[in-house]
Amino acid sequence: MNISQENSGKLNAILNVKVEEVDYAERVEKVLKDYRKQAKVDGFRPGMVPMGIIKKMYHTPVLVDEVNKLVSESLFNYLQENKVNILGEPLPHKDDVQKFDFEKDTEFEFKFDLGLAPELNMEVSAKDKVPFYKIKVDKKQQGEHKESLLQRFGEFKAVDKAGNDELIKGSLVKVNKEGKEVENGIRVDNVSMSLEMMKDDDQRVLFSGAAGGDQVVFDVKKAFPNDTELASLLRIEKTEVAMLEGTFKCFIDEVNKFERAEPGQEFYDKVYGEGEVKTEEEFTKRVTEEISLNYEREREYRFMVDAREALIKKAKIDLPVE
């Protein structure tokens, strides 16, 4: 294996890699012997196929593969042993249009373009400054974060009648046109069904004013046209939804409505632990600290970008020519 480096510019070089038969012959032979052990050819027992046949079948693709592996390994070792620092990866030389005949040739020569990493000698002093921003939390952000917490710690509470965004709990039963339960039809108990998630307004309005103990007949496929959602609601396979007719009767057990939590000691204790926050002022302070902590990553990332740009500008780095 013969590798030589030719500088073509201040930060550019061409690497010439010459591969001779002695470099790859043993590797190719070893692979072919392994192929022979596993080869299955009509008329020969496993492992007993003549090497001539194996070479005829596999020599060229094995040669190509092994030469490419050898070149890749040799490039890596050369750069490591000679401490050649490059930017990116070696690229095939742009003007190298040589084509190889792997069935006839025994020697192969490759050329690669290298982008050499410039030497960097830079002193940084106290005069070099990069801003590290402190992000100010305003009242709007405080309010949005508070509302998010109030929503997160809200809960469903029983109400007398449904409107248009309540949660209906009960059972769903497949019924016929007369509203009677279909024999051996689908019946699902302990169902939770959100009116807000219904896609059809006409179906949603059928539940308006309904209360626990009421029954509502509706088209479940119009209410929930998404096959995945409907299969989950009815606890059936998604493939069964296409064959399903949509008329169902809902036996309502209870109607619940989601209510956000209200600021106060009970809420503060749930969020931060008992007695950790006692007043609105303390709540606002904790919220501000949480928002600031969330911004810490953004602050550090901004600093990293600015510091990199400042150092590059100070270093006046030359780059290889493409």
Q: How many CB atoms lie within 10 A of CB 228?
A: 10
What pLDDT does 314 receive? 83
> How far is 140 from 197, CA to CA, in rounded Å?
29
Task: For residue 272, give the amino acid letter.
Answer: Y
Where does the pLDDT of residue 297 fall: very low under 50, low under 70, confident under 90, or very high at 90 and above? confident
For residues 129 and 159, state if they share a domain: no
Q: How many CB atoms lie within 10 A of CB 32?
A: 19
> How far is 252 from 162, CA to CA, in rounded Å?
10
Distance of CA 146 to the CA centre of its chain: 30
Q: What percent of the chain has pLDDT over 90?
A: 69
Last residue of a domain, one of 218, 235, 259: 259
The number of folded domains in the chain is 3
Task: DSSP for 34-67, please give it.
Answer: HHHHH---TTS-TT-S-HHHHHHHHHHHHHHHHH
What pLDDT does 322 receive? 65
For residues 149 and 159, state if they share a domain: no
For residues 176 and 255, state if they share a domain: yes
CB of 202 closer than 8 Å to CB of 221: no
Supply the mean pLDDT for the chain: 91
Q: How far is CA 65 from CA 17, 24, 62, in A?
A: 16, 10, 5
What pLDDT does 319 receive? 67
Last residue of a domain, one of 205, 231, 259: 259
CB of 146 closer than 8 Å to CB of 267: no
For residues 9 and 47, state if they share a domain: yes
Task: Assess whether pLDDT exceeds 90 at residue 118.
Answer: no
For residues 6 and 108, state if they share a domain: yes
For residues 108 and 6, state if they share a domain: yes
Task: Assess whether pLDDT exceeds 90 at residue 79.
Answer: yes
Section 308-315 average pLDDT: 84
What pLDDT does 270 receive? 94
For residues 7 and 98, state if they share a domain: yes
> How far is 9 from 116, CA to CA, in rounded Å?
10
Contacts 24+ apart (CB under 8 A), 81-84: 82/5, 84/5, 84/13, 84/114, 84/116
Of 14, 15, 10, nearest to 1 by C-alpha is 15
What pLDDT does 46 receive? 81
Phi, psi (degrees; rounded to nearest 5) at 72: -60, -45
Which residues touch 247 (CB under 8 Å, ≥6 apart)?
A: 174, 175, 176, 177, 217, 218, 219, 220
What pLDDT does 309 receive? 87
Section 284-289 average pLDDT: 95
CB of 210 closer than 8 Å to CB of 216: yes
CATH number, domain with residue 173: 3.10.50
In this structure, of 66-70, 218-222, 240-244, the range with the lowest mean pLDDT score is: 240-244
pTM: 0.52
CATH number, domain with residue 19: 3.30.70.1050
For residues 168 and 249, state if they share a domain: yes
Which burial class, exposed, middle or buried, applies to 140 when counting CB atoms under 10 A from its CB (0-12, 13-18, 19+)? exposed
In this structure, of 103-107, 267-271, 282-286, the range with the lowest mean pLDDT score is: 103-107
> How far is 212 from 51, CA to CA, in rounded Å?
84
CB of 78 closer than 8 Å to CB of 84: yes
For residues 10 and 111, state if they share a domain: yes
Q: Which DSSP helix (H) or strand (E) runs through 265? A: helix 265-272
Q: What domain range includes position 269?
A: 121-153+262-322
Q: How many Cα atoms sit within 13 Å of 91 on the Cβ side? A: 13
Task: Assess whether pLDDT exceeds 70 at residue 259.
Answer: yes
For residues 159 and 206, state if they share a domain: yes
For residues 9 and 144, state if they share a domain: no
What pLDDT does 234 receive? 96
> Residue 209: which region, alpha, beta or left (left: phi > 0; alpha: psi -120 to 50)?
left
Give Rg (Cα) of the chain.
37
Last residue of a domain, one of 215, 234, 259: 259
For residues 95 and 169, state if they share a domain: no
Q: Per-residue pLDDT tens for 105-115? A: 999 999 999 99
Task: Assess whether pLDDT exceeds 70 at residue 166.
Answer: yes
Task: Assess whether pLDDT exceeds 80 at residue 162.
Answer: yes
Section 169-188 average pLDDT: 94
Per-range mean pLDDT, top range of 4-8, 60-64, 318-322: 60-64
